[in-house]
Amino acid sequence: MAVTTTLTEEILELKQQRKAILLAHHYQEPEIQELADVVGDSLELARKAQQVEGEVIAFCGVWFMAETAKILNPTRIVVVPDKDAGCSLVDNCPVEKVRAFKQRYPDYVLVSYINTSAAVKAESDVICTSRNAVDVVNSIPAEQPVLFLPDLNLGNYVKQKTGRANMRIWQGACFVHATFPARRLVKARSEFPNALVAAHPECPADVLAMADFVGSTSAIIDWCVNHPAKEFIIVTESGVQHTLRKRAPEKLYHFVANEQCNCSECPYMKMNTLEKLRDCLRDLAPRVELPAELMDRARKPIERMLALR
Protein backbone atom coordinates (compact mmCIF):
# COMPACT_ATOMS: atom_id res chain seq x y z
CA MET A 1 0.00 0.00 0.00
CA ALA A 2 2.79 2.41 0.97
CA VAL A 3 4.52 1.55 -2.33
CA THR A 4 1.41 2.42 -4.32
CA THR A 5 1.03 5.73 -2.52
CA THR A 6 4.63 6.64 -3.34
CA LEU A 7 4.13 5.65 -6.95
CA THR A 8 0.97 7.75 -7.18
CA GLU A 9 2.80 10.74 -5.74
CA GLU A 10 5.67 10.24 -8.15
CA ILE A 11 3.26 10.20 -11.09
CA LEU A 12 1.48 13.35 -9.92
CA GLU A 13 4.81 15.14 -9.49
CA LEU A 14 6.08 14.05 -12.90
CA LYS A 15 2.77 15.06 -14.44
CA GLN A 16 3.25 18.56 -13.09
CA GLN A 17 6.91 18.78 -14.11
CA ARG A 18 6.14 17.61 -17.63
CA LYS A 19 3.01 19.80 -17.95
CA ALA A 20 1.28 16.58 -18.90
CA ILE A 21 -2.38 15.76 -19.34
CA LEU A 22 -3.36 12.19 -18.58
CA LEU A 23 -6.11 10.75 -20.78
CA ALA A 24 -7.51 7.31 -19.89
CA HIS A 25 -10.00 5.00 -21.55
CA HIS A 26 -12.78 3.40 -19.46
CA TYR A 27 -11.09 0.00 -19.82
CA GLN A 28 -8.04 1.07 -17.81
CA GLU A 29 -7.37 -0.25 -14.31
CA PRO A 30 -9.16 1.80 -11.60
CA GLU A 31 -5.90 3.18 -10.16
CA ILE A 32 -5.03 4.65 -13.56
CA GLN A 33 -8.54 6.07 -14.07
CA GLU A 34 -8.28 7.75 -10.66
CA LEU A 35 -5.15 9.66 -11.72
CA ALA A 36 -6.49 10.70 -15.11
CA ASP A 37 -7.56 14.23 -16.03
CA VAL A 38 -10.16 12.77 -18.36
CA VAL A 39 -11.64 9.28 -18.54
CA GLY A 40 -13.75 8.61 -21.61
CA ASP A 41 -14.67 6.58 -24.66
CA SER A 42 -12.66 6.76 -27.84
CA LEU A 43 -14.65 9.71 -29.24
CA GLU A 44 -14.45 11.80 -26.05
CA LEU A 45 -10.72 11.13 -25.74
CA ALA A 46 -10.09 12.13 -29.38
CA ARG A 47 -11.99 15.40 -28.84
CA LYS A 48 -10.09 16.05 -25.63
CA ALA A 49 -6.71 15.27 -27.22
CA GLN A 50 -7.41 17.87 -29.89
CA GLN A 51 -7.84 20.56 -27.20
CA VAL A 52 -4.86 19.75 -24.94
CA GLU A 53 -2.65 22.77 -24.33
CA GLY A 54 -0.09 21.10 -22.05
CA GLU A 55 3.22 19.93 -23.51
CA VAL A 56 2.68 16.22 -23.04
CA ILE A 57 -0.25 13.85 -23.45
CA ALA A 58 0.16 10.61 -21.49
CA PHE A 59 -2.34 8.30 -23.16
CA CYS A 60 -3.54 5.31 -21.15
CA GLY A 61 -5.47 3.19 -23.61
CA VAL A 62 -4.22 1.35 -26.67
CA TRP A 63 -1.81 2.37 -29.40
CA PHE A 64 -4.33 3.45 -32.06
CA MET A 65 -5.92 5.85 -29.55
CA ALA A 66 -2.54 7.43 -28.79
CA GLU A 67 -1.82 7.69 -32.53
CA THR A 68 -5.14 9.49 -32.97
CA ALA A 69 -4.20 11.94 -30.19
CA LYS A 70 -0.87 12.65 -31.91
CA ILE A 71 -2.51 13.11 -35.31
CA LEU A 72 -5.02 15.58 -33.84
CA ASN A 73 -2.45 17.50 -31.83
CA PRO A 74 0.88 16.92 -33.59
CA THR A 75 2.96 19.49 -31.70
CA ARG A 76 2.38 17.71 -28.37
CA ILE A 77 4.58 14.89 -27.13
CA VAL A 78 2.33 11.82 -26.84
CA VAL A 79 3.62 9.03 -24.60
CA VAL A 80 2.11 5.68 -23.65
CA PRO A 81 2.83 3.31 -20.77
CA ASP A 82 3.23 0.29 -23.08
CA LYS A 83 3.70 0.53 -26.84
CA ASP A 84 2.66 -3.12 -27.26
CA ALA A 85 -0.87 -2.39 -26.08
CA GLY A 86 -2.48 -3.03 -29.47
CA CYS A 87 -5.94 -4.05 -30.69
CA SER A 88 -7.12 -7.13 -32.58
CA LEU A 89 -9.17 -4.93 -34.92
CA VAL A 90 -6.07 -3.03 -36.01
CA ASP A 91 -4.28 -6.35 -36.58
CA ASN A 92 -7.18 -7.58 -38.75
CA CYS A 93 -6.86 -4.67 -41.16
CA PRO A 94 -3.48 -4.26 -42.88
CA VAL A 95 -3.14 -1.14 -44.99
CA GLU A 96 -2.01 -3.12 -48.08
CA LYS A 97 -5.36 -4.89 -48.20
CA VAL A 98 -7.24 -1.60 -47.81
CA ARG A 99 -5.24 -0.11 -50.71
CA ALA A 100 -5.97 -3.18 -52.85
CA PHE A 101 -9.71 -2.79 -52.16
CA LYS A 102 -9.58 0.89 -53.10
CA GLN A 103 -7.87 0.08 -56.37
CA ARG A 104 -10.47 -2.53 -57.23
CA TYR A 105 -13.49 -0.48 -56.12
CA PRO A 106 -12.56 3.21 -56.51
CA ASP A 107 -16.19 4.38 -56.22
CA TYR A 108 -16.62 3.17 -52.61
CA VAL A 109 -16.64 5.58 -49.67
CA LEU A 110 -14.33 4.18 -46.99
CA VAL A 111 -15.72 4.50 -43.47
CA SER A 112 -13.09 3.34 -40.99
CA TYR A 113 -13.65 2.64 -37.33
CA ILE A 114 -11.24 4.60 -35.14
CA ASN A 115 -9.78 1.19 -34.15
CA THR A 116 -7.45 1.22 -37.18
CA SER A 117 -3.82 2.14 -37.77
CA ALA A 118 -2.79 5.66 -38.79
CA ALA A 119 -1.92 4.25 -42.21
CA VAL A 120 -5.46 2.90 -42.70
CA LYS A 121 -6.96 6.18 -41.48
CA ALA A 122 -4.88 7.98 -44.11
CA GLU A 123 -6.56 5.84 -46.82
CA SER A 124 -10.07 6.51 -45.44
CA ASP A 125 -12.76 9.02 -46.34
CA VAL A 126 -14.22 9.36 -42.86
CA ILE A 127 -13.60 7.86 -39.41
CA CYS A 128 -16.25 6.78 -36.93
CA THR A 129 -16.37 5.47 -33.38
CA SER A 130 -18.81 3.11 -31.72
CA ARG A 131 -20.70 6.19 -30.52
CA ASN A 132 -21.31 7.86 -33.87
CA ALA A 133 -20.98 5.09 -36.49
CA VAL A 134 -24.69 5.18 -37.43
CA ASP A 135 -24.65 9.00 -37.82
CA VAL A 136 -21.44 8.90 -39.85
CA VAL A 137 -22.85 6.35 -42.31
CA ASN A 138 -26.14 8.25 -42.48
CA SER A 139 -24.18 11.38 -43.47
CA ILE A 140 -23.05 9.71 -46.72
CA PRO A 141 -25.36 10.18 -49.73
CA ALA A 142 -27.59 7.08 -50.12
CA GLU A 143 -26.48 6.35 -53.68
CA GLN A 144 -22.78 6.03 -52.78
CA PRO A 145 -21.55 2.51 -51.96
CA VAL A 146 -19.79 2.22 -48.58
CA LEU A 147 -17.02 -0.02 -47.30
CA PHE A 148 -17.17 -0.20 -43.52
CA LEU A 149 -14.00 -1.45 -41.84
CA PRO A 150 -12.72 -3.35 -39.93
CA ASP A 151 -15.34 -4.49 -37.37
CA LEU A 152 -17.84 -6.99 -38.72
CA ASN A 153 -20.23 -6.79 -35.74
CA LEU A 154 -20.29 -3.00 -35.57
CA GLY A 155 -20.65 -2.94 -39.37
CA ASN A 156 -23.65 -5.29 -39.31
CA TYR A 157 -25.22 -3.26 -36.51
CA VAL A 158 -24.78 -0.03 -38.51
CA LYS A 159 -26.12 -1.67 -41.66
CA GLN A 160 -29.23 -2.79 -39.79
CA LYS A 161 -29.75 0.63 -38.15
CA THR A 162 -29.25 2.62 -41.34
CA GLY A 163 -31.09 0.14 -43.59
CA ARG A 164 -28.34 0.67 -46.14
CA ALA A 165 -28.13 -2.06 -48.78
CA ASN A 166 -25.01 -0.80 -50.60
CA MET A 167 -22.65 -1.36 -47.66
CA ARG A 168 -19.82 -3.92 -47.68
CA ILE A 169 -18.31 -4.92 -44.37
CA TRP A 170 -14.73 -5.97 -43.59
CA GLN A 171 -14.41 -9.28 -41.72
CA GLY A 172 -12.45 -8.10 -38.65
CA ALA A 173 -13.43 -8.59 -35.02
CA CYS A 174 -12.53 -7.58 -31.50
CA PHE A 175 -11.36 -10.75 -29.80
CA VAL A 176 -12.84 -9.56 -26.50
CA HIS A 177 -16.34 -8.55 -27.65
CA ALA A 178 -16.82 -11.01 -30.53
CA THR A 179 -16.40 -13.92 -28.12
CA PHE A 180 -19.22 -12.98 -25.75
CA PRO A 181 -21.55 -15.93 -26.40
CA ALA A 182 -25.32 -15.43 -26.55
CA ARG A 183 -25.87 -18.54 -24.40
CA ARG A 184 -24.02 -16.91 -21.48
CA LEU A 185 -26.19 -13.84 -21.80
CA VAL A 186 -29.29 -16.06 -21.83
CA LYS A 187 -28.01 -17.69 -18.60
CA ALA A 188 -27.30 -14.30 -16.98
CA ARG A 189 -30.81 -13.12 -17.87
CA SER A 190 -32.35 -16.16 -16.22
CA GLU A 191 -30.18 -15.65 -13.11
CA PHE A 192 -31.00 -11.93 -12.90
CA PRO A 193 -34.51 -11.63 -14.36
CA ASN A 194 -34.94 -8.00 -13.23
CA ALA A 195 -31.74 -6.80 -14.90
CA LEU A 196 -31.65 -4.81 -18.15
CA VAL A 197 -28.96 -5.58 -20.71
CA ALA A 198 -26.46 -3.03 -22.09
CA ALA A 199 -24.00 -4.15 -24.78
CA HIS A 200 -21.19 -2.67 -26.87
CA PRO A 201 -21.82 -2.81 -30.66
CA GLU A 202 -18.63 -4.89 -31.19
CA CYS A 203 -20.61 -7.85 -29.74
CA PRO A 204 -22.14 -10.48 -32.04
CA ALA A 205 -25.57 -9.83 -33.57
CA ASP A 206 -27.34 -12.47 -31.43
CA VAL A 207 -26.05 -10.73 -28.27
CA LEU A 208 -27.07 -7.29 -29.56
CA ALA A 209 -30.54 -8.62 -30.41
CA MET A 210 -31.06 -9.37 -26.70
CA ALA A 211 -29.81 -5.96 -25.48
CA ASP A 212 -32.07 -3.23 -24.12
CA PHE A 213 -29.36 -0.72 -25.00
CA VAL A 214 -26.45 -0.75 -27.46
CA GLY A 215 -23.78 1.94 -27.26
CA SER A 216 -20.18 3.03 -26.72
CA THR A 217 -18.54 2.61 -23.32
CA SER A 218 -19.50 6.11 -22.15
CA ALA A 219 -23.01 5.75 -23.61
CA ILE A 220 -23.49 2.47 -21.68
CA ILE A 221 -22.36 4.16 -18.46
CA ASP A 222 -24.66 7.17 -18.95
CA TRP A 223 -27.61 4.94 -19.85
CA CYS A 224 -27.22 2.72 -16.74
CA VAL A 225 -26.69 5.71 -14.42
CA ASN A 226 -29.70 7.63 -15.75
CA HIS A 227 -32.11 4.70 -16.15
CA PRO A 228 -34.61 4.18 -13.30
CA ALA A 229 -33.78 0.42 -13.26
CA LYS A 230 -31.55 -0.83 -10.44
CA GLU A 231 -29.87 -3.86 -12.00
CA PHE A 232 -27.93 -4.32 -15.23
CA ILE A 233 -26.15 -7.03 -17.18
CA ILE A 234 -23.22 -5.43 -18.99
CA VAL A 235 -21.70 -6.95 -22.11
CA THR A 236 -18.45 -5.07 -22.58
CA GLU A 237 -15.04 -4.80 -20.92
CA SER A 238 -15.35 -4.77 -17.14
CA GLY A 239 -13.27 -1.58 -16.75
CA VAL A 240 -16.52 0.40 -17.10
CA GLN A 241 -17.57 -0.80 -13.65
CA HIS A 242 -15.23 1.70 -11.97
CA THR A 243 -17.19 4.72 -13.22
CA LEU A 244 -20.52 2.90 -12.89
CA ARG A 245 -19.85 2.17 -9.22
CA LYS A 246 -18.71 5.73 -8.59
CA ARG A 247 -21.67 7.37 -10.32
CA ALA A 248 -24.42 4.97 -9.23
CA PRO A 249 -23.09 2.85 -6.33
CA GLU A 250 -26.56 1.76 -5.24
CA LYS A 251 -27.16 -0.20 -8.47
CA LEU A 252 -26.12 -3.76 -9.32
CA TYR A 253 -23.93 -4.61 -12.33
CA HIS A 254 -23.33 -8.12 -13.63
CA PHE A 255 -20.66 -8.82 -16.24
CA VAL A 256 -20.81 -11.60 -18.82
CA ALA A 257 -17.58 -13.57 -19.38
CA ASN A 258 -16.36 -14.17 -22.93
CA GLU A 259 -14.89 -17.36 -24.39
CA GLN A 260 -11.52 -15.92 -25.23
CA CYS A 261 -10.33 -15.49 -21.61
CA ASN A 262 -13.38 -16.54 -19.61
CA CYS A 263 -13.36 -12.98 -18.35
CA SER A 264 -14.42 -9.61 -19.67
CA GLU A 265 -11.05 -7.88 -19.84
CA CYS A 266 -9.12 -6.57 -22.81
CA PRO A 267 -5.58 -7.93 -22.32
CA TYR A 268 -4.13 -5.04 -24.31
CA MET A 269 -5.81 -2.37 -22.19
CA LYS A 270 -4.64 -4.15 -19.07
CA MET A 271 -0.96 -4.03 -20.15
CA ASN A 272 -0.75 -0.48 -18.77
CA THR A 273 0.30 -0.23 -15.12
CA LEU A 274 1.11 2.58 -12.72
CA GLU A 275 4.81 1.65 -12.92
CA LYS A 276 4.81 1.92 -16.71
CA LEU A 277 2.87 5.19 -16.51
CA ARG A 278 5.47 6.63 -14.13
CA ASP A 279 8.26 5.48 -16.44
CA CYS A 280 6.73 6.98 -19.59
CA LEU A 281 6.29 10.34 -17.87
CA ARG A 282 9.86 10.21 -16.55
CA ASP A 283 11.50 9.04 -19.82
CA LEU A 284 9.06 10.68 -22.26
CA ALA A 285 9.03 7.29 -23.97
CA PRO A 286 7.58 5.18 -25.50
CA ARG A 287 6.46 8.06 -27.68
CA VAL A 288 4.15 8.18 -30.69
CA GLU A 289 6.08 9.43 -33.70
CA LEU A 290 4.56 9.48 -37.16
CA PRO A 291 5.65 11.09 -40.46
CA ALA A 292 4.08 14.55 -40.86
CA GLU A 293 2.71 13.68 -44.31
CA LEU A 294 0.96 10.57 -42.95
CA MET A 295 -0.52 12.58 -40.08
CA ASP A 296 -1.80 15.24 -42.49
CA ARG A 297 -3.62 12.59 -44.54
CA ALA A 298 -4.96 10.72 -41.50
CA ARG A 299 -6.20 13.93 -39.84
CA LYS A 300 -8.65 14.83 -42.63
CA PRO A 301 -11.05 11.87 -42.18
CA ILE A 302 -10.87 12.21 -38.37
CA GLU A 303 -11.71 15.92 -38.60
CA ARG A 304 -14.55 15.10 -40.99
CA MET A 305 -16.02 12.91 -38.25
CA LEU A 306 -15.42 15.48 -35.49
CA ALA A 307 -17.13 18.17 -37.60
CA LEU A 308 -20.30 16.06 -37.77
CA ARG A 309 -21.02 16.57 -34.05
Which residues of the chain form beta strands (DSSP E)?
Answer: 20-25, 38-40, 56-60, 77-79, 109-113, 126-128, 146-149, 167-169, 196-199, 213-214, 231-235, 252-255
Quick one: 11 or 58, whose CB is closer to ligand 13P? 58
Quick one: 41 or 125, whose CB is closer to ligand 13P? 41
Residue 240 within binding range of ligand SF4, rule CB under 6 A: no
Residue 21 within binding range of ligand SF4, rule CB under 6 A: no
Contacts of 212 (CB under 8 A, 6+ apart): 196, 197, 198
Residue 87 within binding range of ligand SF4, rule CB under 6 A: yes
Residues that bind ligand 13P (CB under 6 A): 41-42, 115, 129-131, 174, 177, 200, 202, 216-217
Distance (Å, rounded) from C-alpha 252 to C-alpha 11? 33
Site string for ligand SF4, 143-182 (x = CB under 6 A): -------------------------------xxxx-----
Residue 67 within binding range of ligand SF4, rule CB under 6 A: no
Residue 128 within binding range of ligand SF4, rule CB under 6 A: no
* Closest by CA position to 243, among listed 220, 260, 259, 227: 220
Q: Are 136 and 308 in contact (CB under 8 A)?
A: yes
130 binds, among ligand 13P, ligand SF4, none (CB under 5 to 8 A by kind): ligand 13P
From 72-80, 81-89, 103-111, 141-149, give the range in contact with ligand SF4 by CB under 6 A. 81-89
157 binds, among ligand 13P, ligand SF4, none (CB under 5 to 8 A by kind): none
Q: Edge-to-edge strands of the sheet including 109-113?
A: 126-128, 109-113, 146-149, 167-169
Q: What are the Cα distances from residue 153, in Å, to 107, 110, 146?
A: 24, 17, 16
Q: What are the Cα distances from residue 249, in Å, to 171, 189, 230, 244?
A: 38, 21, 10, 7
Site string for ligand SF4, 187-226 (x = CB under 6 A): ---------------x------------------------
Classify residue 196 by its DSSP letter.
E
Quick one: 71 or 87, whose CB is closer to ligand SF4? 87
Kindly list the residues in this chain that would bind ligand SF4 in the complex (CB under 6 A). 62, 87-89, 115, 174-177, 202, 237, 266, 268-269
